[in-house]
Amino acid sequence: MKEHPRVAELRSALSSSPGPVALVPTMGYLHEGHLSLIRRARGENRTVVVSIFVNPSQFGPNEDFTRYPRDMDRDRRLCDEAGVDHIFAPEVSEMYPPGDRTIVEVTELQDRWEGASRPGHFRGVATVVAKLFRIVRPDRAYFGEKDYQQLQIVTRMATDLFLDLEVVGCPTVREPDGLALSSRNVYLDPAGRQAALGLSRALQAAQADFGAGERRRTALERRMERVAHDYSGFELDYAVVVDPHTLEQLQEVNAESRALIAGWVSGVKLIDNAAIAPV
């Protein structure tokens, strides 16, 4: 495994690497969710690149950019054990050199849900992912469904900009009690950890109601709100049932619909989502 802090170095290494080439973009502090993406990438491609970059442009001024968890030694070891070929770990100045002026916006999709409560977040995500796609030029790029809106935005961007790669969405990895894995879970104390279960429990309740025949969107959304409300310490941001691609609220829910939920526990923003009709 080789580690590259510079774009030119990585590109030169990739020029002699066998294809197909996979990219797994991350902000580091790897957990089982990231490792599931890396394993899938390893199984489907001949060269695997993992990028580790805490991207400042996707954090708002009052968000956790400086305290976002980092552990490069551990990440390096986990990547090595998982059979990664190249780590790309640039400095901020490598990704955003002086004079950098270009941003990528995926209109409408970027403004809904997480975009409404974190203005500018998805512009930062789309911009850095577009840069990573151009730097690595992967055949496939792997993203977790846990960040469902991000996955839809990146997929849309790759299509709209003819980026010629496959965006592969991979299932959310959960703790045995249902909590979706997230690097931000480290911020939770035991009480917060309990409150965070409101997310997955609300999604499960909506799935159960859909399974029992409920098709009214507002009824399913109210049900999620009620369940989330029962978890003291969980402050709901939104609980919605949407079209899986446009992320618009639907008139009538169908088996393709996606339930999205988000909220705060002790000031930590947590998100989760699920297919309304689990396969």
Residue 257 in contact with ligand PAF, rule: CB under 6 A: no
Residue 155 in contact with ligand PAF, rule: CB under 6 A: no
Residue 128 in contact with ligand PAF, rule: CB under 6 A: yes
Alpha carbon 86 to chain centroid distance? 21
Residue 90 in contact with ligand PAF, rule: CB under 6 A: no
Would you say 146 and 171 are in contact if contact means Cβ atoms under 8 Å apart? no
Q: How far is CA 217 from CA 190, 207, 213, 263, 272, in A?
A: 33, 12, 12, 20, 18
Residue 89 in contact with ligand PAF, rule: CB under 6 A: no
Nearer to ligand PAF, 56 or 233 (CB): 56
Residue 25 in contact with ligand PAF, rule: CB under 6 A: yes
The catalytic position among 4, 31, 34, 86 is 34
Rounded distance between C-alpha atoms, residue 22 and residue 166, angstroms: 10
Residue 185 in contact with ligand PAF, rule: CB under 6 A: no
Residue 110 in contact with ligand PAF, rule: CB under 6 A: no
Residue 138 in contact with ligand PAF, rule: CB under 6 A: no
Ordered strands of the 234-242 beta sheet: 234-242, 258-265, 268-275
Which residue in 278, 269, 275, 276 sits closest to 68, CA to CA?
A: 269
Q: Among 10, 27, 104, 188, indicate the residue that binds ligand PAF (CB under 6 A).
A: 27
Rounded distance between C-alpha atoms, residue 265 and residue 119, angstroms: 20
Q: Among 4, 10, 26, 122, indicate the residue that binds ligand PAF (CB under 6 A).
A: 26
How many chain residues interact with ligand PAF (CB under 6 A)? Answer: 10
In the residue annotation, 86 being an active-site residue is answered as: no
Would you say 273 and 261 are in contact if contact means Cβ atoms under 8 Å apart? yes
Query: Where in the sequence numbering do the catalytic residues fall?
Result: 34
Q: List interacting residues with ligand PAF (CB under 6 A).
A: 25-27, 55, 58, 125, 128-129, 147, 150
